[in-house]
Amino acid sequence: MKVLTANRLADGEAVWYANGGWAEIIDNADLADDKAAEDRLEAIGATALANNEVVDVNLIDVTVANGVVVPVRLREKIRAAGPTNRNDLGKQARPEAARAA
Amino acid sequence: MYRYDEFDHDFVQARVAEFSDQVARRLAGEITEDQFRPLRLMNGVYLQLHAYMLRIAVPYGTLNSKQLRMLGHIARKYDKGYGHFTTRQNIQFNWPALSDIPAILADLASVEMHAIQTSGNCIRNVTADHFAGAAADEVADPRPYAEILRQWSSVHPEFSFLPRKFKIAVTGAERDRAAIQTHDIGLHLKKNAAGELGFAVYVGGGQGRTPMIAKKIRDFLPEADLLSYCTAILRVYNLYGRRDNKYKARIKILVHETGVEEITRQVEAEWQELKDADLKLPEADIRAIDAYFAPPALVERPEGDEAVKLARLDSKRFSEWLDQNVVTHRHPDYAAVTISLKGIGEAPGDASDSQMEAVADLAEKYAFDELRVSHEQNLILPHVARADLKAVYDALVDIGLATANSNLITDIISCPGLDYCALATARSIPVAQEISNRFASLERQREIGELKLKISGCINACGHHHVGHIGILGVEKKGAELYQVTLGGSADENTSVGEIIGRGFSSEEITDAIEQIVETYLGLRLDRNEKFIDAYRRVGPAPFKEALYAGETKAA
């Protein structure tokens, strides 16, 4: 299973592609579970990069457990939550992310 | 300290204007990321995991209070209330918006600061002994030469696109506190028999995936020849350094592959063409730069001895801090103070906006407006009257910066690691924090004595793990963090590269392993005066391997 992630051009915020736009949290990211869906996300990422909406676009591996999207690699877990030594920073510090978690 | 002249002001202002325009065009979609990336990197802007990162140059680690206050202001206004001091004596902000960076650079320019050449394949911020100008053991202040190198290397047309980045460090004392032998060029300022100033020149040191100790290619280079000789080195490197493989592109590889004799011959031959031309430094120019670094007028403060003696009796903690974080100054009434940014369990090198402002106030009030950033990620007040030490200490206690651990096991160098860095393969800060908490007892730390522990979260070695007495390298193995331990590294005048001690440890095991190493050392040292590094050099890795892995061998 994969999701599309990037950093927003203007402020560098880590974002994930969800419901036709770029969301600041991973929870509702569009999931790709076959090659066709991955190709679709990749095309969306390439367009968004070309349109200067985002940078550093990547398809990343995730798992979904009980409806919660969890990145496979630690690097992506940290991007989705924030620095592990500072719970007051990053997505984990935000009420909407805390509610989702 | 150095003050910008008209040329410097115009140069930095022009760069702010230029980069502001580039950012505006990028945000408007007029230039692509591929076009913009090299431009932003030339101005210290990286993209990391959570956001952009801005690395600001602190030339040879020297700051005044106005500048540190501005860094605090930037942390509060544009970032998340803190900054991270680095092993290149710089500061990084981890969360700035790209759209705010022009305003940040304009603020920096107003206090004679910038972010130029803090990235890219150019000559990076020249570093120097953080006690420069204060140390009792120095021949002369190394910073005027670092400043001359800064001026020469700033947007140097020939050396802005080198095969790879290039780092220079200068020390003015026999005791090397600037780690010069781990640099592309290391300069040791010294005097010859005639009492003239010059440099021993080291070339080809570096860390990263292939650690190398620099080779001395000249024992004494007259000060007037500094730029012509460095130009000769850079020319040889620019011509022959490898551009086909990023991992073999540093000058250390060229020196290693060419051999020190041949590289010396090439440099000397190049230098013969240059030495008597326009790069020869006029005596008057050197002295003019020197004058910027004239020591503050240190008035006699003989009451310091008595004041310190009484304050020691009054406060055990002050006494401990004095023993650990205060060093001898060339003036007997003064001392140099290390402000530890390694509070127990804290992220090494981080300081909050209000801490930066409070330290700036202290520098203004008690330290002739001078501050340093050390490559060990601490702040320094280089000139404090001994009579004022208690007042400084009390003020540091109030802001949580009075940790008495300079050079002890919790004075850890650590890179940001996977919590922030896009290159990292494992976390560093949480490992540093756990080790710091494990060894929290100052009594225990002091019993262990001087121990330099350094942690990198990837093979690029920003955390200097190769030259830690104990080094920790975090890697990713089968999707998990694994920490490799090296022992016996050192970054002083007896530089050595640590040796890998055996299989790596998981994040759950690493602190226990470090404790095991420390206990082994305590068990085998000859006496309290034998430091960890000396004991390791005497006994070698065997007892440590035995302690860490013997159980496994037997079980197998």
Q: Which fold has domain B413-555?
A: Sulfite Reductase Hemoprotein; domain 1 (3.30.413)
Give the pLDDT of residue B87.
95
With cut-offs at 50, 70 and 90, classify the pLDDT of residue A100.
Answer: very low
Interacting residues of B351 by C-beta distance below 8 A, sequence separation 6+? B82, B83, B85, B341, B359, B379, B401
Q: So what's the pLDDT on residue A97?
A: 59
Q: Report whether B482 contacts B431 (CB < 8 A).
A: no
pTM for the whole thing? Answer: 0.96
| Cβ contact, residue pair A55, B33, below 8 Å | yes
CATH of B322-398, one of 3.30.70.3340, 3.40.50.2000, 1.20.120.790, 3.40.50.300: 3.30.70.3340
Q: Which residues of B46-58 are buried (b: 16+ CB within 10 A; e: fewer)?
A: bbbbbbbbbbbbb
Contacts of B340 (CB under 8 A, 6+ apart): B325, B378, B401, B402, B403, B404, B405, B406, B411
Distance CA B23, CA A10 (A): 9
Beta carbons of B430 and A7 less than 8 Å apart: no
B434 in A contact zone (CB under 8 Å): no
Task: Measure B274 CA to nearest chain A CA, in Å.
Answer: 45
Note whether B198 and B223 are within 8 A (CB): yes
pLDDT tens for each residue of chain B, 556 residues long: 899 999 999 999 999 999 999 999 999 999 999 999 999 999 999 999 999 999 999 999 999 999 999 999 999 999 999 999 999 999 999 999 999 999 999 999 999 999 999 999 999 999 999 999 999 999 999 999 999 999 999 999 999 999 999 999 999 999 999 999 999 999 999 999 999 999 999 999 999 999 999 999 999 999 999 999 999 999 999 999 999 999 999 999 999 999 999 999 999 999 999 999 999 999 999 999 999 999 999 999 999 999 999 999 999 999 999 999 999 999 999 999 999 999 999 999 999 999 999 999 999 999 999 999 999 999 999 999 999 999 999 999 999 999 999 999 999 999 999 999 999 999 999 999 999 999 999 999 999 999 999 999 999 999 999 999 999 999 999 989 999 999 999 999 999 999 999 999 999 999 999 999 999 999 999 999 999 999 999 999 999 999 999 988 555 4
- From residue B93, give the alpha-carbon distance in Å to each of A22, B53, B416: 25, 6, 11
With cut-offs at 50, 70 and 90, classify the pLDDT of residue A87: very high
User: What are the residue ranges of helices labelled H in A33-101?
Assistant: 35-50, 74-81, 95-100
Count of the separate structural domains present in chain A = 1
The residues facing B170 across adjacent strands are B128, B187
Verify whether the Cβ–Cβ distance B429 to A78 is below 8 Å: no
Q: Is B161 helix (H, G, I), strand (E, B) or coil?
A: coil
CB A82 within 8 A of CB A92: yes
Using CA coordinates, name the residue in chain A closest to B433.
Answer: A85
Centre a 10 Å sphere on the Cβ of residue A93 and count the other Cβ atoms it contains. 15
Q: Does A84 touch chain B (CB under 8 A)?
A: yes
In this complex, the residue of B47, B347, B433 whose CB is nearest that of residue A7 is B47
Cα dihedral sign for B431, B437, B442, B446? negative
Taking an 8 Å cut-off on Cβ atoms, the answer to whether A11 and B51 are in contact is yes
| Alpha-carbon separation of residue B185 from B116, B247, B347 (angstroms) | 20, 18, 30
pLDDT at B554: 55
CA B497 vs CA B216, B266, B294: distances in Å: 17, 27, 36
* Encoded tokens for B229: 């000789």
Radius of gyration of chain B measured on its C-alpha atoms: 23
Sign of CA dihedral B232, B235, B240, B242: positive
| Predicted pLDDT at A99 | 47
CA distances from A11 to B98, B415, B437 (A): 5, 23, 35
> One-letter amino acid identity for B265?
R
As for the ipTM of the complex, it is 0.95
Q: What is the DSSP letter of B462?
A: T
Strands B480-487 vs B470-477: parallel, antiparallel or unpaired: antiparallel
pLDDT at B263: 98
- Which helix H or strand E contains B363, and what residues bound it? helix B353-366
Name every chain A residue with its beta carbon within 8 A of the beta carbon of B47.
7, 12, 55-56
Could you say which of A50, A75, A85 has the minimum Cβ distance to residue B49? A75
For chain B, the domains span 6-109, 142-292, 322-398, 413-555
Q: Which residue has the tokens 């080779």?
A: B215
- Which of A7, A73, A84 shows the shortest C-beta gap to B419? A84
For residue B528, how many C-alpha atoms fall within 13 Å in the half-sphere facing its CB? 6
Cβ-based neighbours of A96, under 8 Å, separated by 6 or more: A25
Find out whether B217 and B237 touch, Cβ atoms under 8 Å.
no
Helix (H) or strand (E) holding B147: helix B143-153
- The hierarchical CATH code for the domain B6-109 is 3.90.480.20
Dist CA A7 CA A76 (whole Å): 12
Domain encompassing residue A92: 2-100
Q: Is residue A101's pLDDT more than 90?
A: no
Residue B378 has a pLDDT of: 98
- Inter-chain residue contact A78 with B99, CB threshold 8 Å: no
Alpha-carbon gap, residue B9 to B12, rounded angstroms = 5
- Average pLDDT on A61-90 reads 96
Distant-in-sequence, close-in-space partners of B33: CB < 8 Å, separation ≥ 6: A9, A49, A52, A55, B26
pLDDT in tens, A1-41: 999 999 999 999 999 999 999 999 999 999 999 999 999 99
Q: Are strands B379-385 and B334-339 parallel, antiparallel or unpaired?
A: antiparallel
Instruction: Please report residues of A whose CB lies closer than 8 A to that of B103.
Output: none
State the CATH class of domain B142-292. alpha beta
Residue in the structure block whose two tokens are 């990084």:
B92
Q: Does B142-292 match B413-555 in CATH topology?
A: yes
Q: Do B33 and A72 touch (CB under 8 A)?
A: no
